[in-house]
Chains A and B, each alone.
Chain A
C-alpha cells in the first residue's frame, strides 16, 4: 500500500514536473515569438499611423496594410491634387523613415562609389595610368574568392544532393500514395502533387474554376522553383541553383556595360556620360516591370 502510494506520489511529481518543464519551455519560447512579432518602437508607431485609417476589424491584414494618411479636407479639399500630393509626400516621409536602414545602406554604397571614382581619378590623372580592364579583373578575382570562401559544400555538394533528392522523391511518392498532401519542400513533387490534387478534388463539386486557378498558380510557382534545382558546377565541385549560362550572361552584361562606359570616355564628353548614367534608372524600371 505504502509502495503504491509512493509510486503515485512520484508519478504526480513527475507529471507535475513535466507540466512545469513544458510550461517553462513554452515560457522560454513565448518571449522569443513575441519578440519576432513585435516591431521596433518606431515601426510600431508608423504602423499605428498607417492603420489608423484602415478598418478596425482587428484582422492582421487590415491592421498591417499601408494606407494613405488623410490630410485635413477643410484645407485642401476632398480629392484635390494638392491633397494627393501632400499625402504622397507624407507617406514617402513615413516610408523613408521606416526604411532608413536601407536608404543609409544605399548612401554607404554611394560613398564607396565616390571613393572608387576618386582612386580611379588618381590613377588616371596623377599617375597617367589607364588600365580599366586590369582594374575590373582584379576586383573580379577578389569578389570571386569572397564568394567562394563563403559558399558551402565544396566538392561534396553534388553527389550528396543527388542522393538526398532521390531519397526525398521516394519519400514524397510514398506520402502521396497514402493521400497525405503535406506541403513538400521538394520542387518536383510540388508539381506532381498539384497535378494529382486536381483529380482528387474533382469530386463533383462546382469547383472547377477555383481548382484551375489554384493549380495554375501552383504550377507556375513549381515551374519557377524547378529552375532553382541544385545543379552540378565544374564536375561536381560545387552545387549552384541557377543555370551556368544565366551567370555567364550576367557576367557578360556586367563586364561589357562597364567596358562600354569606360570606352566612351575617348569619344564623347564627360557631361554626356555622367547624364547618361542616370539612364540606368529607367532601364532598371523597365526591365523589372516586363516579364
Chain B
C-alpha cells in the first residue's frame, strides 16, 4: 500500500473518531436537557419532590454512564486501530 493511501486511511480513522466523540458529547448534552424537563415539572409537587430528585439523579447518572462508555469504547477502538496501522506500516 502506498504511503499516501495509508495516510488517508489514518486520516479517515481520526475523523471518524473525532465525529463519534463530538456526537456522543452533543447528544449526551441534548438528552440531559430533555431528561430534566419532566423531572422539573414533577419536582414542583412538594410531596414527591424528594423522590423525584433522587430518580432524576439516578436517571442522569445512568445516561451519562452510557455516553461515557460510548466515548471510552471509541477511544479504545481508536488506539487499537492506531496500533494496527503502525504495525502494518512497519511491515510495509
Instruction: Report whether chain A binds chain B.
Output: no
